[in-house]
C-alpha cells in the first residue's frame, strides 16, 4: 500500500483469456493496512489494452494500424458495399480515405487499405450504421456577446426553471439592481457550439465581466449540478454543470472557478448556487431568501468539534465569538464541554429550533454530517423546526459544502432546500480543507461582516478571499469554499 497525497499509476498484465466477448467489469476495492483508520483514493481513468480481430461490430470499427503494412476489416453485414473509411487521428478534423478497396460479398463485406502510420486511428463504418440526427434544430442567435448588455445580478438557469427564476430577478430589481436571467442553452450555444460544459459558463462570465457595459457583481446558478456531466449513472441532477479543480487532495467541485476571470483562484464576481431540481424547490428557496432578509433576530450558534490533532476547535470558535458585536446572543455547543455527544446534539437542536441569524462550525465533517460524533447529520433534518429563524451557516471544515455527488443529496443541500426551516445559505468547503487555513477564512469573513460592514453574503466572502490571498496561504481553499444560496443575500 502506498501512502501520501500523490498521484500513482498502476500497470497490471493479465491473460487475455479473462476478457469476455461482451461486457467486462473492472472492480477496485479499498483495503486498509493494519492500524490505518481511514484512507481515500480517487480513480482518474482506466486504460485497457488488448488484442482483437479486425472485425466490425454493428457495421463499424474504431482501430489503429498497429504497424501493419496493410489492414483488412471484415464482417460488415450490410446489404451494399458502401463502406466509409475515415482517418480520425484528430477527431476534430476527420479525413475521408478514398484509396480504400472494398471486397467480399453481401452480408460479409470487408474494407482494405494501407495505414498512414502505426499510431493513426481510423473509423470504418457502413452507410447504414451512420448515426442520423433526428432532433437537431436551429437556434436563434443570442445577444450575450453584445457590449451594450448590463447587469448587477445575473441568474443562469436551465430552460425548465427559467419561468420560476423570474420572481427572484423581480425581487432583486426592487432593490435597485439590474437583474438579468440568462438561459443555460444560450450560453452553451454561444460559447461552446451547443455542447454542454462548465467551461462555457466560465467563458461567458469572463466575457460579461470584461466586455459588457456593466459587469455583473452577483451570479446565481439556479439548478443542481453533479460530477456526472453525461448522466452515465442515470441518476440525473446535473442541470447546471459545476467545474472541477485540482487540490492537494484530489479533484474538488468549484463554482468559484467559473467566476475566476483572471485565474488567480479568487472569483471576480460573487457566485452562489441554488441546488434545486424543480420549480417548486426554486420557489421554496426564493421564499426563504425573502424570509431571511425580512426577519429580525440576534441569535448566533457557535459549534465546535472536540479538539484533536486537527486543531483546537474550541479555541478557534472562541476567536470567532470575539468578533461578534455585543448585541448578539450566543448559544455555544462545544463538544469539549460535554461528556456525551447526545447531550450536545440535543442542545444544538434546541438552539436551532429557536432560530438564529448565523451558525458557525469548526471541526471535522463529511458531506452528510458535522463531527465524527454526528452532532448534525442529513438524517436530522426532520427534527429542525426553526421555521422563519433561518441562519446563514458558515462551516469551516471538510466536504460539508459538497453538492455534486450524483444521487446523494448532502447536508448543505438539504439545509438550503428544507421547507419550514433549515438554512438560508450554507458556505463551506466542497473537499478536504486544512483547519489552519480555514481559520483565516473564518476570521476574515466575520471581520468583513462586522468590522467592514459587508452585509451582503457574497461581498463578505469575496473580501475574505482577497485578504486570505494576501496571507500567502494555500490558494486552493478559495476555490472550494462555495456558497449554496444567493450571493446577494442581505445579512443582519
Between 24 and 273, the more confident residue is: 273
pLDDT band at 366, cuts 50/70/90? very high
Average pLDDT of 364-380?
96
**229 band by pLDDT with thresholds 50, 70 and 90:** very high
Give the burial string for 6-27 (b: 16+ CB within 10 Å, else e). eeeeeeeeeeeeeeeeeeeeee
The answer, yes or no, to whether residue 253 has pLDDT greater than 80, is: yes
**Mean pLDDT (whole number) for 60-67:** 92
Instruction: Indicate the range of 11-25, 97-111, 373-387, 397-411 predicted with least confidence.
Output: 11-25
User: Which whole number is the average pLDDT over 420-424?
Assistant: 97
Contacts 24+ apart (CB under 8 A), 63-70: 63/121, 63/122, 63/124, 64/115, 64/118, 64/119, 64/120, 64/121, 64/122, 65/115, 65/116, 65/117, 65/118, 65/120, 65/122, 66/118, 67/118, 68/115, 69/114, 70/112, 70/113, 70/114
- Tell me the pLDDT tens digit for each residue of 440-482: 999 999 999 999 999 999 999 999 999 999 999 999 999 999 9
Cell numbers found for residue 72: 483488412
Q: How many CB atoms lie within 10 A of CB 162?
A: 17
> How big is the chain by its Cα radius of gyration, in Å?
27
Question: What's the pLDDT band for 26 if we cut at 50, 70, 90?
Answer: confident
Alpha helices in 277-428 (DSSP H): 279-294, 313-321, 341-354, 411-417
In this predicted structure, what is the pLDDT of residue 151?
98
DSSP class per residue in 24-43:
--------PPTT--------
Position of cell 440526427? 133
Question: Does the pLDDT at position 241 exceed 60?
Answer: yes
Distance linking the first and last C-alpha atoms of the chain:
51
Let me know: does 213 contact 147? Beta carbons within 8 Å.
Answer: yes
**Predicted TM-score (pTM) of this structure:** 0.83
**∠ CA 138-224-372, rounded to 5°:** 160
Q: Which of 438, 162, 174 is nearest to 279 (CA)?
A: 162
pLDDT band at 3 (very low <50, low <70, confident <90, very high): low
- Assess contact for 261 and 209: CB atoms under 8 A: yes
pLDDT of residue 54: 95
Q: Phi-psi region for residue 100, left (φ > 0), alpha (ψ -120 to 50) or beta? A: beta
Q: What pLDDT does residue 2 have?
A: 46
Amino acid at each position: 500500500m502506498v501512502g501520501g497525497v500523490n498521484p500513482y499509476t498502476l500497470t497490471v498484465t493479465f491473460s487475455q483469456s479473462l476478457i469476455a466477448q461482451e461486457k467486462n467489469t473492472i472492480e477496485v476495492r479499498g483495503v486498509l493496512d493494519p492500524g490505518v483508520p481511514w484512507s481515500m483514493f480517487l480513480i482518474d481513468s482506466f486504460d485497457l489494452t488488448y488484442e482483437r480481430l479486425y472485425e466490425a461490430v454493428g457495421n463499424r470499427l474504431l482501430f489503429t494500424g498497429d504497424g501493419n503494412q496493410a489492414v483488412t476489416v471484415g464482417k460488415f453485414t450490410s446489404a451494399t458495399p458502401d463502406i466509409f473509411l475515415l482517418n480520425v487521428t484528430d477527431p476534430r478534423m476527420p479525413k475521408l480515405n478514398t484509396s480504400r478497396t472494398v471486397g467480399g460479398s453481401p452480408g460479409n463485406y470487408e474494407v482494405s487499405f494501407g495505414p498512414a502510420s502505426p499510431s493513426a486511428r481510423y473509423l470504418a463504418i457502413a452507410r447504414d450504421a451512420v448515426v442520423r440526427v433526428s432532433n437537431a434544430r436551429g437556434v436563434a442567435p443570442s445577444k450575450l456577446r453584445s457590449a451594450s448588455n448590463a447587469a448587477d445580478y445575473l441568474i443562469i438557469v436551465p430552460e425548465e426553471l427559467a419561468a420560476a427564476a423570474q420572481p427572484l430577478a423581480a425581487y432583486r430589481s426592487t432593490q435597485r439592481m439590474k437583474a438579468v436571467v440568462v438561459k443555460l442553452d444560450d450560453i452553451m450555444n454561444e460559447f461552446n457550439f451547443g455542447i454542454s460544459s462548465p467551461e462555457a459558463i466560465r467563458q461567458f462570465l469572463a466575457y460579461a465581466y470584461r466586455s459588457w457595459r456593466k459587469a455583473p457583481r452577483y451570479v446565481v446558478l439556479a439548478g443542481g449540478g453533479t460530477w456526472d456531466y453525461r448522466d452515465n449513472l442515470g441518476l440525473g441532477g446535473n442541470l447546471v454543470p459545476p467545474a472541477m479543480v485540482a487540490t492537494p487532495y484530489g479533484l474538488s467541485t468549484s463554482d468559484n472557478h467559473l467566476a475566476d476571470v483572471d485565474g488567480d483562484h479568487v472569483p471576480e464576481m460573487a457566485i452562489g448556487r441554488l441546488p434545486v431540481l424543480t420549480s417548486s424547490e426554486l420557489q421554496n428557496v426564493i421564499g426563504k431568501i425573502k424570509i431571511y432578509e425580512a426577519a429580525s433576530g440576534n441569535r448566533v450558534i457557535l459549534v465546535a468539534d472536540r479538539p484533536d490533532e486537527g486543531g483546537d476547535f474550541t479555541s478557534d470558535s472562541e476567536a470567532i465569538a470575539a468578533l461578534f458585536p455585543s448585541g448578539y446572543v450566543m448559544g455555544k455547543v462545544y463538544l469539549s464541554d460535554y461528556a456525551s455527544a447526545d447531550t450536545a446534539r440535543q442542545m444544538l437542536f434546541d438552539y436551532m429550533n429557536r432560530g438564529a441569524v448565523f451558525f458557525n462550525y469548526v471541526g471535522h465533517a463529511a458531506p452528510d454530517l458535522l463531527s465524527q460524533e454526528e452532532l448534525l447529520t442529513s438524517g436530522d433534518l426532520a427534527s429542525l423546526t426553526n421555521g422563519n429563524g433561518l441562519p446563514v451557516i458558515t462551516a469551516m471544515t471538510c466536504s460539508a459544502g459538497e453538492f455534486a455527488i450524483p444521487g446523494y443529496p448532502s447536508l448543505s443541500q438539504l439545509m438550503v432546500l428544507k421547507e419550514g426551516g433549515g438554512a438560508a445559505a450554507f458556505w463551506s468547503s466542497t473537499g478536504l480543507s486544512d483547519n489552519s487555513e480555514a481559520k483565516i477564512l473564518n476570521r476574515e469573513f466575520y471581520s468583513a461582516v462586522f468590522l467592514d460592514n459587508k452585509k451582503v453574503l457574497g461581498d463578505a466572502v469575496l473580501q475574505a478571499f482577497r485578504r486570505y490571498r494576501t496571507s500567502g496561504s494555500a490558494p486552493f481553499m478559495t476555490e472550494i469554499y462555495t456558497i449554496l444560496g444567493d450571493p446577494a443575500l442581505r445579512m443582519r
